[in-house]
Amino acid sequence: MKIGFIGLGIMGKPMAKNLLKAGYDLTVFDVVKANVDDVVAAGAKAGASAKDVAAVCDVVITMLPNSPHVKTVVCGAGGVLEGAKSGLILIDMSSIAPLASIEVEKACAEKGVKMIDAPVSGGEPKAIDGTLAIMAGGDRAVLESVKPILSQMGSSVVYCGEIGAGNTTKLANQIIVAVNIAAVAEAYTLAQKAGVDPALVFDAIKGGLAGSTVMNAKSPMMLDGNFKPGFKIDLHIKDLGNALDTGHGVGSPLPLTASVMEMMQTLRADGCGQDDHSALAKYYAKVSGTKIGK
């Protein structure tokens, strides 16, 4: 089976490399040539465009920043649908608006292309070690046919419903992650101002009910003042924007999401948009005058 991979950023590059390690025949494309060169050096072939990739592949995976990018790469000039043969399977692993997934799937169906939306959670570390959580929407039979591929990039692949359901699930995930990170930063700021070492607070509570994967992953970054991005503030703003738009569309109130969105927007305005989302600690430092950790 020949696989195409389009979008070789922080997440896409290690995901593509894991497919190569599994022995798949891979053709890749990205607008950043250095990213393509890196994956080609690991054993992939280079495509000249999304159309070029689709023309030689049975399955095409896209891992792109947001809804407009997916629409352009799939439906635009020189896009996947221009090169696709009937029967090609498109796996969009980008985190986009659910309605955008539905729109792109409709365009795919008109060309005889099958599509599933399969966004991921876990950030760069889990993309590297192939243990992402994958949440999928679309035709269940199509998902089953590509599960062996997805299983090389993730430790779990869960069917969530019809097309768009994967991205709705991802939005729920991103709400929980964002609010959790903000709560951790808020709690550690309280501890710091009260004269208690946040590192000791982390050690004391991480095994209890407050403990979480988010706390374990982001606490060391906050305490070390290390905000090298595994998942950027700018990208989380994109996801929360999609969540808020979707919530407004279906009548679901999202007051906590809106609050964290404003914190992140403040950080972007301060030039921190490319920081890891654990940099929510910087927001609390700004408003409290107290820095967590180093």
| 3-class SS of residue 28 | strand
Looking at 17, 170, 238, 282, which residue is catalytic?
A: 170
CA distance 99 to 140: 19
Number of Cβ atoms within 10 Å of the Cβ of 206:
13
* Size of the chain, expressed as the number of residues it contains: 294
Question: Using an 8 Å Cβ cutoff, are 71 and 100 in contact?
Answer: yes
E strand or H helix that includes residue 116: strand 114-117
Question: Using an 8 Å Cβ cutoff, are 106 and 130 in contact?
Answer: no
Check if 291 is active-site: no
Residue 207, C-beta contacts closer than 8 angstroms, at least 6 positions apart: none
Q: What are the catalytic residues?
A: 170
